[in-house]
Protein backbone atom coordinates (compact mmCIF):
# COMPACT_ATOMS: atom_id res chain seq x y z
CA UNK A 1 0.00 0.00 0.00
CA UNK A 2 1.26 3.48 -0.82
CA UNK A 3 0.92 6.49 1.45
CA UNK A 4 1.40 8.97 -1.39
CA UNK A 5 0.70 8.66 -5.04
CA UNK A 6 1.58 11.51 -7.36
CA UNK A 7 0.17 11.36 -10.87
CA UNK A 8 1.27 13.54 -13.76
CA UNK A 9 1.99 16.55 -11.59
CA UNK A 10 2.91 19.81 -13.33
CA UNK A 11 3.90 23.15 -11.86
CA UNK A 12 5.37 26.27 -13.43
CA UNK A 13 6.30 29.64 -11.99
CA UNK A 14 5.62 31.95 -14.95
CA UNK A 15 7.75 30.52 -17.75
CA UNK A 16 9.85 28.47 -15.35
CA UNK A 17 8.81 24.82 -15.28
CA UNK A 18 9.43 23.40 -11.78
CA UNK A 19 7.70 20.00 -12.15
CA UNK A 20 7.20 18.32 -15.49
CA UNK A 21 4.63 15.53 -15.49
CA UNK A 22 5.96 13.93 -12.31
CA UNK A 23 4.51 10.57 -11.24
CA UNK A 24 5.77 8.94 -8.05
CA UNK A 25 4.63 6.25 -5.68
CA UNK A 26 5.78 6.45 -2.08
CA UNK A 27 5.09 3.20 -0.22
CA UNK A 28 3.90 3.11 3.40
CA UNK A 29 6.71 2.64 5.93
CA UNK A 30 10.38 3.02 5.13
CA UNK A 31 12.46 6.02 4.18
CA UNK A 32 12.09 7.51 0.72
CA UNK A 33 14.94 9.67 -0.56
CA UNK A 34 13.92 12.60 -2.77
CA UNK A 35 17.10 13.59 -4.55
CA UNK A 36 18.16 16.11 -7.12
CA UNK A 37 20.54 19.03 -7.68
CA UNK A 38 19.73 22.62 -6.71
CA UNK A 39 16.70 23.94 -8.51
CA UNK A 40 15.50 20.46 -9.57
CA UNK A 41 11.96 20.91 -8.21
CA UNK A 42 12.11 19.02 -4.89
CA UNK A 43 10.90 21.88 -2.68
CA UNK A 44 8.09 22.62 -5.12
CA UNK A 45 6.94 19.00 -4.90
CA UNK A 46 7.21 19.00 -1.09
CA UNK A 47 5.22 22.26 -0.87
CA UNK A 48 2.46 20.78 -3.02
CA UNK A 49 2.30 17.68 -0.78
CA UNK A 50 2.07 20.01 2.23
CA UNK A 51 -0.68 22.02 0.51
CA UNK A 52 1.30 25.26 0.78
CA UNK A 53 1.03 25.71 -3.00
CA UNK A 54 -1.07 23.98 -5.66
CA UNK A 55 0.05 22.13 -8.75
CA UNK A 56 -1.14 23.37 -12.16
CA UNK A 57 -2.37 19.92 -13.14
CA UNK A 58 -2.11 16.33 -11.99
CA UNK A 59 -3.19 14.62 -8.79
CA UNK A 60 -1.80 13.75 -5.38
CA UNK A 61 -3.38 10.94 -3.35
CA UNK A 62 -2.78 10.47 0.38
CA UNK A 63 -3.69 6.99 1.62
CA UNK A 64 -5.76 6.50 -1.51
CA UNK A 65 -7.76 9.74 -1.09
CA UNK A 66 -7.32 12.95 -3.07
CA UNK A 67 -5.03 15.12 -0.93
CA UNK A 68 -7.12 17.59 1.09
CA UNK A 69 -6.80 19.91 4.13
CA UNK A 70 -7.80 17.19 6.63
CA UNK A 71 -4.56 15.34 5.78
CA UNK A 72 -2.38 18.19 7.05
CA UNK A 73 -2.55 16.88 10.63
CA UNK A 74 -1.19 13.52 9.42
CA UNK A 75 1.89 15.08 7.85
CA UNK A 76 4.94 16.49 9.62
CA UNK A 77 7.12 18.87 7.59
CA UNK A 78 10.59 20.10 8.45
CA UNK A 79 11.25 22.82 5.85
CA UNK A 80 14.74 23.71 4.69
CA UNK A 81 14.17 27.29 5.77
CA UNK A 82 13.37 26.78 9.39
CA UNK A 83 10.56 28.77 10.94
CA UNK A 84 10.18 29.18 14.69
CA UNK A 85 8.78 32.15 16.57
CA UNK A 86 11.95 33.77 17.84
CA UNK A 87 10.41 35.50 20.84
CA UNK A 88 8.48 32.46 22.07
CA UNK A 89 9.78 30.05 24.70
CA UNK A 90 10.67 26.48 23.71
CA UNK A 91 7.90 24.88 25.80
CA UNK A 92 5.14 27.30 24.70
CA UNK A 93 6.17 26.99 21.08
CA UNK A 94 6.15 23.19 21.02
CA UNK A 95 2.79 22.98 22.80
CA UNK A 96 1.43 25.57 20.33
CA UNK A 97 2.61 23.56 17.30
CA UNK A 98 1.15 20.34 18.72
CA UNK A 99 -2.20 22.11 19.32
CA UNK A 100 -2.13 23.46 15.75
CA UNK A 101 -2.00 19.84 14.61
CA UNK A 102 -5.17 19.03 16.58
CA UNK A 103 -3.56 17.48 19.66
CA UNK A 104 -5.59 17.82 22.90
CA UNK A 105 -3.83 20.17 25.37
CA UNK A 106 -3.00 17.55 28.02
CA UNK A 107 -1.58 15.13 25.46
CA UNK A 108 0.38 17.96 23.78
CA UNK A 109 2.07 18.85 27.10
CA UNK A 110 2.80 15.20 27.82
CA UNK A 111 4.41 14.73 24.39
CA UNK A 112 6.45 17.94 24.64
CA UNK A 113 7.81 16.87 28.05
CA UNK A 114 8.57 13.41 26.63
CA UNK A 115 10.51 14.78 23.65
CA UNK A 116 12.42 17.42 25.60
CA UNK A 117 13.58 14.65 27.93
CA UNK A 118 14.33 12.23 25.09
CA UNK A 119 16.46 14.85 23.32
CA UNK A 120 18.09 15.74 26.63
CA UNK A 121 17.02 19.38 26.42
CA UNK A 122 14.47 19.66 29.26
CA UNK A 123 16.56 22.48 30.75
CA UNK A 124 15.82 24.64 27.69
CA UNK A 125 12.06 24.67 28.19
CA UNK A 126 11.89 28.31 29.33
CA UNK A 127 14.49 29.66 26.90
CA UNK A 128 13.39 31.87 24.04
CA UNK A 129 14.29 30.67 20.54
CA UNK A 130 16.48 33.72 19.90
CA UNK A 131 18.57 32.72 22.94
CA UNK A 132 19.38 29.34 21.35
CA UNK A 133 22.21 28.51 18.98
CA UNK A 134 21.34 27.48 15.40
CA UNK A 135 21.81 23.77 16.19
CA UNK A 136 19.78 24.05 19.40
CA UNK A 137 16.91 25.72 17.52
CA UNK A 138 17.11 22.96 14.89
CA UNK A 139 16.52 20.37 17.60
CA UNK A 140 13.43 22.26 18.76
CA UNK A 141 12.18 22.50 15.19
CA UNK A 142 12.75 18.77 14.67
CA UNK A 143 10.60 18.05 17.74
CA UNK A 144 7.90 20.43 16.45
CA UNK A 145 7.78 18.39 13.23
CA UNK A 146 7.23 15.03 14.89
CA UNK A 147 5.34 16.05 18.05
CA UNK A 148 1.90 15.07 16.66
CA UNK A 149 3.16 11.63 15.55
CA UNK A 150 2.34 12.10 11.88
CA UNK A 151 1.91 9.17 9.52
CA UNK A 152 4.13 10.89 6.98
CA UNK A 153 7.21 12.88 7.85
CA UNK A 154 8.85 15.10 5.24
CA UNK A 155 12.35 16.20 6.18
CA UNK A 156 14.17 18.75 4.02
CA UNK A 157 17.90 18.67 4.81
CA UNK A 158 17.30 17.53 8.42
CA UNK A 159 21.02 17.31 9.24
CA UNK A 160 22.04 20.81 8.16
CA UNK A 161 23.26 22.95 11.04
CA UNK A 162 23.94 19.99 13.33
CA UNK A 163 27.35 18.98 14.67
CA UNK A 164 28.27 15.30 14.02
CA UNK A 165 27.05 14.19 17.44
CA UNK A 166 23.63 15.82 17.09
CA UNK A 167 23.38 14.69 13.45
CA UNK A 168 23.84 11.14 14.76
CA UNK A 169 21.06 11.69 17.34
CA UNK A 170 18.71 12.93 14.61
CA UNK A 171 19.68 10.02 12.36
CA UNK A 172 18.85 7.54 15.11
CA UNK A 173 15.54 9.30 15.79
CA UNK A 174 14.65 9.00 12.11
CA UNK A 175 15.43 5.27 12.20
CA UNK A 176 13.31 4.88 15.35
CA UNK A 177 10.40 6.70 13.72
CA UNK A 178 10.69 4.45 10.68
CA UNK A 179 10.69 1.38 12.95
CA UNK A 180 7.43 2.64 14.46
CA UNK A 181 5.89 2.50 10.98
CA UNK A 182 6.11 6.21 10.11
CA UNK A 183 6.89 6.91 6.46
CA UNK A 184 9.75 9.36 6.01
CA UNK A 185 10.48 11.39 2.88
CA UNK A 186 14.05 12.61 3.13
CA UNK A 187 15.27 15.35 0.83
CA UNK A 188 18.99 15.86 1.11
CA UNK A 189 22.16 16.52 -0.83
CA UNK A 190 24.14 14.33 1.59
CA UNK A 191 24.46 11.13 -0.32
CA UNK A 192 26.11 9.27 2.56
CA UNK A 193 22.94 9.67 4.63
CA UNK A 194 20.84 8.48 1.67
CA UNK A 195 23.08 5.43 1.52
CA UNK A 196 22.63 4.81 5.24
CA UNK A 197 18.94 5.52 5.62
CA UNK A 198 16.90 5.22 2.43
CA UNK A 199 15.00 2.14 1.31
CA UNK A 200 13.85 3.74 -1.91
CA UNK A 201 14.80 6.84 -3.91
CA UNK A 202 13.60 9.09 -6.68
CA UNK A 203 15.83 11.57 -8.48
CA UNK A 204 14.54 14.77 -10.05
CA UNK A 205 16.56 16.87 -12.45
CA UNK A 206 15.42 20.00 -14.26
CA UNK A 207 11.80 19.33 -13.25
CA UNK A 208 11.82 15.75 -14.60
CA UNK A 209 12.00 12.45 -12.75
CA UNK A 210 15.11 10.70 -14.06
CA UNK A 211 15.41 7.73 -11.70
CA UNK A 212 13.25 5.81 -9.21
CA UNK A 213 13.59 2.50 -7.39
CA UNK A 214 14.76 0.61 -4.35
CA UNK A 215 18.23 1.71 -3.26
CA UNK A 216 19.63 -1.81 -3.63
CA UNK A 217 18.13 -2.15 -7.11
CA UNK A 218 19.44 1.27 -8.18
CA UNK A 219 22.93 0.30 -7.02
CA UNK A 220 22.70 -2.99 -8.91
CA UNK A 221 21.48 -1.16 -12.01
CA UNK A 222 24.67 0.93 -12.13
CA UNK A 223 27.14 -1.72 -10.98
CA UNK A 224 30.31 -1.52 -13.03
CA UNK A 225 30.83 -5.32 -13.00
CA UNK A 226 34.20 -4.74 -11.42
CA UNK A 227 35.84 -6.68 -8.62
CA UNK A 228 38.49 -5.61 -6.16
CA UNK A 229 41.10 -8.26 -5.49
CA UNK A 230 43.66 -8.44 -2.68
CA UNK A 231 46.53 -10.91 -2.99
CA UNK A 232 49.55 -11.64 -0.85
CA UNK A 233 52.59 -13.83 -1.61
CA UNK A 234 52.52 -13.32 -5.39
CA UNK A 235 53.97 -16.37 -7.17
CA UNK A 236 53.33 -15.41 -10.77
CA UNK A 237 53.73 -12.09 -12.60
CA UNK A 238 50.40 -10.28 -12.86
CA UNK A 239 49.15 -9.00 -16.24
CA UNK A 240 50.17 -5.36 -16.63
CA UNK A 241 46.58 -4.38 -17.53
CA UNK A 242 45.51 -5.11 -13.96
CA UNK A 243 47.44 -2.07 -12.83
CA UNK A 244 48.19 -3.60 -9.43
CA UNK A 245 49.47 -1.51 -6.56
CA UNK A 246 51.17 -2.45 -3.30
CA UNK A 247 49.38 -1.51 -0.06
CA UNK A 248 50.71 -2.67 3.34
CA UNK A 249 52.61 -5.56 1.77
CA UNK A 250 49.57 -6.76 -0.20
CA UNK A 251 48.82 -6.47 -3.91
CA UNK A 252 45.55 -4.75 -4.76
CA UNK A 253 43.90 -4.35 -8.15
CA UNK A 254 40.57 -4.22 -9.95
CA UNK A 255 39.38 -6.55 -12.69
CA UNK A 256 36.26 -6.55 -14.85
CA UNK A 257 34.08 -9.62 -14.39
CA UNK A 258 33.55 -10.20 -18.13
CA UNK A 259 31.93 -13.46 -19.23
CA UNK A 260 33.46 -15.58 -16.46
CA UNK A 261 31.49 -16.65 -13.39
CA UNK A 262 32.79 -15.29 -10.06
CA UNK A 263 33.88 -18.84 -9.11
CA UNK A 264 36.03 -19.37 -12.18
CA UNK A 265 37.50 -15.89 -11.77
CA UNK A 266 38.36 -16.86 -8.20
CA UNK A 267 40.11 -20.05 -9.34
CA UNK A 268 42.09 -18.13 -11.94
CA UNK A 269 43.15 -15.54 -9.33
CA UNK A 270 44.28 -18.19 -6.85
CA UNK A 271 47.06 -19.21 -9.23
CA UNK A 272 48.71 -15.85 -8.67
CA UNK A 273 49.04 -15.98 -4.91
CA UNK A 274 47.21 -16.13 -1.59
CA UNK A 275 43.74 -14.61 -2.11
CA UNK A 276 42.94 -12.30 0.82
CA UNK A 277 40.02 -10.42 -0.66
CA UNK A 278 37.57 -10.58 -3.57
CA UNK A 279 34.55 -8.30 -3.60
CA UNK A 280 32.28 -6.69 -6.11
CA UNK A 281 32.57 -2.92 -6.22
CA UNK A 282 29.16 -1.25 -6.09
CA UNK A 283 28.82 2.42 -6.98
CA UNK A 284 28.17 4.86 -4.14
CA UNK A 285 25.02 7.01 -4.28
CA UNK A 286 27.34 10.00 -4.70
CA UNK A 287 28.78 8.45 -7.88
CA UNK A 288 25.34 7.49 -9.21
CA UNK A 289 24.00 10.99 -8.46
CA UNK A 290 26.85 12.78 -10.25
CA UNK A 291 26.75 10.39 -13.23
CA UNK A 292 22.98 10.66 -13.64
CA UNK A 293 22.99 14.44 -13.49
CA UNK A 294 25.81 14.59 -16.07
CA UNK A 295 24.03 12.10 -18.36
CA UNK A 296 20.79 14.05 -18.26
CA UNK A 297 22.34 17.48 -18.64
CA UNK A 298 22.82 17.22 -22.39
CA UNK A 299 19.27 16.16 -23.25
N1 LIG B 1 8.45 31.13 -5.85
C2 LIG B 1 9.09 30.89 -7.00
N3 LIG B 1 9.01 31.76 -8.02
C4 LIG B 1 9.64 31.53 -9.20
N5 LIG B 1 10.42 30.45 -9.45
C6 LIG B 1 10.54 29.56 -8.47
C7 LIG B 1 9.91 29.72 -7.19
N8 LIG B 1 10.24 28.65 -6.42
C9 LIG B 1 11.03 27.86 -7.16
N10 LIG B 1 11.22 28.40 -8.40
C11 LIG B 1 11.99 27.78 -9.51
O12 LIG B 1 11.50 26.47 -9.72
C13 LIG B 1 12.58 25.57 -9.94
C14 LIG B 1 12.54 24.46 -8.88
O15 LIG B 1 12.86 25.02 -7.61
P16 LIG B 1 12.80 24.21 -6.25
O17 LIG B 1 12.95 25.19 -5.14
O18 LIG B 1 11.58 23.36 -6.25
O19 LIG B 1 14.12 23.30 -6.37
P20 LIG B 1 14.87 22.36 -5.32
O21 LIG B 1 15.04 21.05 -5.99
O22 LIG B 1 14.13 22.35 -4.04
O23 LIG B 1 16.28 23.06 -5.14
P24 LIG B 1 17.30 23.16 -3.86
O25 LIG B 1 17.99 21.83 -3.76
O26 LIG B 1 18.23 24.24 -4.29
O27 LIG B 1 16.47 23.51 -2.65
C28 LIG B 1 13.85 26.40 -9.93
O29 LIG B 1 14.15 26.72 -11.27
C30 LIG B 1 13.46 27.65 -9.17
O31 LIG B 1 14.20 28.77 -9.62
pLDDT for residue 181 is more than 70: yes
Classified as helix, coil or strand, 5 is strand
Closest CA to 33 of 152, 195, 229, 198: 198
Query: What are the tens digits of pLDDT across the range 262-290?
Result: 888 899 999 999 999 999 899 999 999 99
Classified as helix, coil or strand, 253 is strand
Residue whose CA is at the smallest distance from ligand 1 atom 6: 13
CA–CA gap between residue 75 and residue 77 (Å, rounded): 6
Edge-to-edge strand list for the sheet holding 250-256: 245-247, 250-256, 226-232, 274-281
| C-beta of 44 in contact with ligand 1 (< 6 A) | yes
Under DSSP, the state recorded for 245 is: E
| C-beta of 39 in contact with ligand 1 (< 6 A) | yes
- Range 205-220 burial, b when 16+ CB lie within 10 A, else e: bbbbbbbbeebeebbe
pLDDT for residue 298 is more than 70: no
Residue whose CA is at the smallest distance from ligand 1 atom 14: 41
pLDDT for residue 70 is more than 80: yes
Tell me how far the alpha carbon of residue 12 lies from the centroid of ligand 1, in angstroms: 10
Residue whose CA is at the smallest distance from ligand 1 atom 24: 38
- Range 171-198 burial, b when 16+ CB lie within 10 A, else e: bebbeebbeeebbbbbbbebbebbeebb
CA–CA gap between residue 214 and residue 207 (Å, rounded): 21
Query: What are the tens digits of pLDDT across the range 76-87?
Result: 999 877 678 888
According to DSSP, the residues that pair with 187 across neighbouring strands are: 34, 156
pLDDT at 299: 59
Domain 2-220 has CATH 3.40.50.300: yes
pLDDT for residue 258 is more than 80: no
Domain extents for the chain?
Answer: 2-220, 224-281
Determine the average pLDDT of the residues in 41-65. 96
Amino acid sequence: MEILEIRNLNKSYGNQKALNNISLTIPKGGIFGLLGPNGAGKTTLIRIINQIIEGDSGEVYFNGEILQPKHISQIGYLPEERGLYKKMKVWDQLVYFARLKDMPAALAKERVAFWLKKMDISSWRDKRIDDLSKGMAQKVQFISTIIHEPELLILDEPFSGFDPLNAEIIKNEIIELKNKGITVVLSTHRMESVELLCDQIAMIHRSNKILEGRLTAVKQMFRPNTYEVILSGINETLPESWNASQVNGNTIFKIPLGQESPNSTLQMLMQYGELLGFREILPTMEEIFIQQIKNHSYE
